[in-house]
């Protein structure tokens, strides 16, 4: 048996658009085990990105609870949630979200510096080496290709040795070759570090590697397909 690193109970989320309230997620419950690789699938508008935002503490649900690493993050104030999130999770955005004024090395160091980690620079340099970008450490985002920026974003997500990594369409803005590189990096780092992965994606290639596929439609979980993930780590 493996421990659960995340549990979500009866999550609901809606947004007001003009005079209408649109429900994006409706009564979602989900548990994620340590070391598991979960893919969240669904058509555009099914709620994939919103679910990732809630599970990672970027946004708060209207109703429901989220227990992350034995902490109820729905009860935390933003002042307490931000440092907890920085220590506990990594997040890879589809659009990279690198800081334009920082170099590749500095972008990766940033979360570790927030944690006052004296080894921030050394950890960032080692991660760059592992993704074969040591020659780009002093380059700014505008000097890098999309694939290079996504590798830097992945390193940034991993620099604090997070319990769990979320990724929202991590290969969506990349060509097939760079998308395959990012997928292989995620899988290699997961095996080496035993990191839990939760990805939202349309990619059938990524889904084929997952331990569990959670299918969303109209804001609800329609199906879950599970394999024994201990065989794949």
Q: Look up the domain containing 25 and give its range.
A: 4-102+162-231
Going residue by residue through the chain (233 aa), what tens digit of pLDDT does each one get? 458 899 999 999 999 888 888 899 999 999 999 999 999 998 888 899 999 999 999 999 999 999 998 899 999 999 999 999 999 999 998 888 999 999 999 999 999 999 999 999 999 999 999 888 999 999 999 999 999 999 999 999 999 989 899 999 888 888 888 888 888 888 887 888 788 999 998 888 888 889 999 999 989 999 887 765 554 54
Number of domains the chain is built from: 1
Cα separation, 203 vs 169, in Å, equals 8
Longest CA–CA separation in the chain, Å: 52
Q: Is the distance from CB of 68 to CB of 5 less than 8 angstroms?
A: yes
Nearest to 30, CA basis, from 61, 5, 7? 7
The two structure tokens encoding residue 7: 């549990």
88 falls within a domain:
yes
pTM over 0.75, yes/no: yes
- CATH number reported for the structural domain that contains residue 184 in this entry: 3.40.50.300
146 falls within a domain:
no
Cα separation, 81 vs 224, in Å, equals 30
Bridge partners of 108, per DSSP, are none
């Amino acid at each position: 048996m493996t421990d659960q690193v995340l549990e979500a109970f009866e999550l609901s989320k809606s947004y007001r658009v003009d005079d209408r309230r649109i429900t994006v997620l409706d009564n979602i419950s989900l548990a994620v085990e340590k070391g598991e690789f979960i893919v969240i699938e669904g058509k555009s508008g099914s709620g994939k990105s919103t679910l990732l935002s809630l599970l990672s503490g970027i946004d708060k649900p209207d109703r429901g609870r989220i227990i992350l690493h034995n902490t109820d993050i729905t009860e935390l104030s933003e002042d307490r949630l931000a440092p907890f999130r920085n220590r506990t999770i990594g997040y890879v955005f589809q659009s990279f979200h690198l800081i334009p004024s920082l170099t590749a090395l500095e972008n990766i160091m940033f979360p570790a510096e927030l944690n006052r980690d004296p080894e921030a620079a050394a950890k960032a340099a080692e991660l760059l080496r592992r993704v074969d970008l040591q020659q780009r450490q002093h380059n700014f985002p505008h000097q890098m290709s999309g694939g290079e920026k996504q590798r830097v974003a992945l390193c940034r997500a991993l620099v604090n040795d997070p319990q769990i990594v979320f990724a929202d369409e991590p290969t969506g803005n990349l060509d097939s070759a760079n998308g395959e590189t990012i997928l292989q990096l995620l899988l290699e780092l997961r095996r080496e570090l035993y990191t839990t992965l939760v990805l939202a994606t349309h990619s059938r290639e990524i889904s084929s590697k997952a331990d569990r596929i959670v299918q969303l439609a109209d804001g609800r979980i329609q199906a879950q397909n599970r394999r024994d993930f201990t065989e794949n780590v």
